[in-house]
C-alpha cells in the first residue's frame, strides 16, 4: 500500500489540532466528510467541532465510552437527528461535494443514499418479503417481478436468502434476533444506498449471530461504504479498516485500525483500546 499525505484523505482534519493519525492512510476518496460539526441538545453541547472523513468502500469504526457522542455523530450522517426535538447542528457534512445540511437538500433522497441499521433490530410487523420490498416500493417500483428480484438479491446480499427463501410470506417477527438484524440489513441494501450506517448492530445478539453480522460487514464493504458504531473493541479490530476514537463529544484520534490499536498517538486512545477505562 502506498502511504500518501494526509491531505489526500482529510485536508480539513489536518488543519485541526491533529486528531488524525497520519501513518498508513491510503489514498481513498471520501464518501462523507464532516467539517467543524457541532451539535447541541437544547443548551447542552454533545459534539464539539468534529472533523472526520469516512473513506469510500471501507469500514470505519466509531468507538468510545458510552455518551461520547459516537452514535449522535453517526445519526448526523443521514440527518436522523433532525427528528429529535431541540437538536441544533452547525458545521458541514459533505457528500459528493454537497453539504447535506444545505437547506435545499431533501432528507428523503439523502436517506435513500445513506442507509441505517439500528442497534435494536426493527423489522416491520409484515412478511419477510414485504420488509425487503418496502423501500423499493416507496421509491416507485411497482412491478412484482422486479420486486421479487430485488428481494432475492438483497436477501442474498445480507446472507439470509438460504434461510428464508421458502418462507418469504412468513412474518418477519418469527425470525431469530440475528436473522431479524440481517433482514434489516437486507431491507437497507434493497434501496441501493451508497453508505450504510450501523449503530451497534450486533450489541443485542449472541456470539454466533454477531459473527455472522461481522462476516457480512466484510462482504458488504465491496459495494458499500460502512460506518459502524461499536462498543466492542475486538469487533472494531475485526471488521474495520479505520477507527475513530470519540471521547466526551470530541474526536480524539482517527487513523487506520492497526495504528489506533497498536500504536495510538494519544494516551486516552491507548487507555481506551487497551481496556483501562470505558
Partner 1 sequence: MNKKIIGKLAMGLTALCAFGTIAAVLWIVGTIVWQGAPTISWTFLTSAPSEGMTGGGIFPCIVGTFLLVLIMSVIGVPVGTITAIYLSEYVDRESTFAKWVRFAVNTLAGIPAIVFGLFGLGFFVRFGGGGLDAIFSHGKLHWAQPNILWASFTMALLTLPVVIVSVEEALRNVPQELRAASLALGATRWETIWKVVLPNCMTGVLTGAILAVSRGAGEVAPILFTGAAYFLPQLPGGLDSQFMELGYHVYIMATQSPDVEATKGIQYGTTLVLLSLTFALNFSAIYLRATLRRRSIQ
| CA trace torsion 194, 123, 244, 1 (10° rounding) | -50
- Of 92, 179, 96, give the one whose Cα is nearest residue 131: 179
Beta-bridged to residue 94, according to DSSP, are 33, 99
DSSP, collapsed to helix, strand or coil, labels residue 93 as strand
* Residue 108 CB, nearest approach to partner 1 (Å): 5
Please identify, using beta-carbon distances, which residue of 87 and 233 lies nearer to partner 1.
87
Burial of 5 (0-12, 13-18, 19+ CB in 10 A): exposed
Smaller CB distance to partner 1: residue 103 or 125? 125
For the stretch 196-209, what's the b/e string if a residue is b when 16 or more beta carbons lie within 10 angstroms of its beta carbon? Answer: bbbbbbbeebeeeb
**Residue whose CB is less far from partner 1, 180 or 269:** 180
In the complex with partner 1, which residue's Cβ is closer, 112 or 231?
112
| Min dist. Cβ of residue 137 to partner 1 (A) | 8
| Residue 120 vs 267, nearer CB to partner 1 | 120
CA 110 to chain centre: 14
CB–CB of 68/248 below 8 Å?
A: yes
Instruction: With beta carbons less than 8 A apart as the criterion, state whether 65 and 273 touch.
Output: no
Q: Which is nearer to partner 1, 144 or 277 (CB)?
A: 144
Q: Is 208 helix (H, G, I), strand (E, B) or coil?
A: helix
Smallest distance from the beta carbon of 164 to partner 1, in angstroms?
18
Smallest separation (angstroms) from partner 1 to the CB of 116: 4
For residues 225, 229, 231 and 235, what is the CA-based torsion angle, rounded to 10 degrees?
A: -10
Q: Which is nearer to partner 1, 134 or 161 (CB)?
A: 134
Could you give the dihedral angle defined by the CA atoms of residues 93, 99, 101 and 106, in that order, rounded to the nearest 10 degrees? -130
CB of 254 to partner 1, least distance (A): 25
To partner 1, the closest distance from the beta carbon of 70 in angstroms equals: 18
Nearer to partner 1, 1 or 108 (CB): 108
Q: Which positions lie near partner 1, rule CB under 8 A?
A: 78, 80, 83, 85, 108-112, 115-116, 118, 120, 122-125, 134-135, 138-139, 184, 187-188, 191
Shortest Cβ distance from residue 202 to partner 1 (Å)?
16
Q: How far is the CB of 213 from partner 1 (least distance, A)?
A: 17
For the chain, the C-alpha Rg in angstroms (whole number) is: 19
Residue 275, Cα to own-chain centre: how many angstroms? Answer: 23
Amino acid at each position: 500500500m502506498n502511504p500518501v499525505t494526509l491531505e489526500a484523505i482529510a485536508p480539513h482534519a489536518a488543519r485541526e489540532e491533529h486528531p488524525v493519525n497520519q501513518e498508513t492512510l491510503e489514498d481513498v476518496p471520501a464518501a462523507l466528510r464532516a467539517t467543524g460539526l457541532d451539535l447541541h441538545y437544547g443548551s447542552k453541547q454533545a459534539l464539539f467541532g468534529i472533523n472526520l472523513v469516512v473513506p469510500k468502500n471501507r469500514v470505519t469504526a466509531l468507538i468510545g465510552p458510552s455518551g461520547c457522542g459516537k452514535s449522535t455523530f453517526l445519526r448526523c450522517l443521514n440527518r436522523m437527528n433532525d427528528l429529535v426535538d431541540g437538536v441544533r447542528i452547525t458545521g458541514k457534512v459533505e457528500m459528493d461535494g454537497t453539504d447535506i445540511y444545505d437547506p435545499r437538500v431533501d432528507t428523503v433522497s439523502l436517506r435513500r443514499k445513506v442507509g441505517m441499521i439500528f442497534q435494536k433490530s426493527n423489522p416491520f410487523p409484515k412478511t419477510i418479503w414485504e420488509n425487503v420490498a418496502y423501500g423499493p416500493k416507496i421509491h416507485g417500483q411497482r412491478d412484482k417481478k422486479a420486486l421479487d428480484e430485488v428481494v432475492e438479491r438483497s436477501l442474498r446480499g445480507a446472507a439470509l436468502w438460504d434461510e428464508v427463501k421458502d418462507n418469504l410470506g412468513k412474518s418477519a417477527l418469527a425470525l431469530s434476533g440475528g436473522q431479524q438484524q440481517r433482514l434489516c440489513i437486507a431491507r437497507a441494501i434493497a434501496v441501493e444506498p451508497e453508505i450504510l450506517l450501523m449503530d451497534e448492530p450486533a450489541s443485542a445478539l449472541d456470539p454466533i449471530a454477531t459473527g455472522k453480522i461481522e462476516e457480512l460487514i466484510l462482504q458488504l464493504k465491496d459495494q458499500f461504504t460502512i460506518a459502524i458504531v461499536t462498543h466492542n473493541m475486538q469487533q472494531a479490530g475485526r471488521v474495520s479498516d479505520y477507527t475513530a476514537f470519540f471521547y466526551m463529544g470530541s474526536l480524539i484520534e482517527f487513523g487506520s485500525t492497526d495504528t489506533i490499536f497498536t500504536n495510538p498517538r494519544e494516551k486516552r486512545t491507548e487507555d481506551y483500546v487497551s481496556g483501562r477505562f470505558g
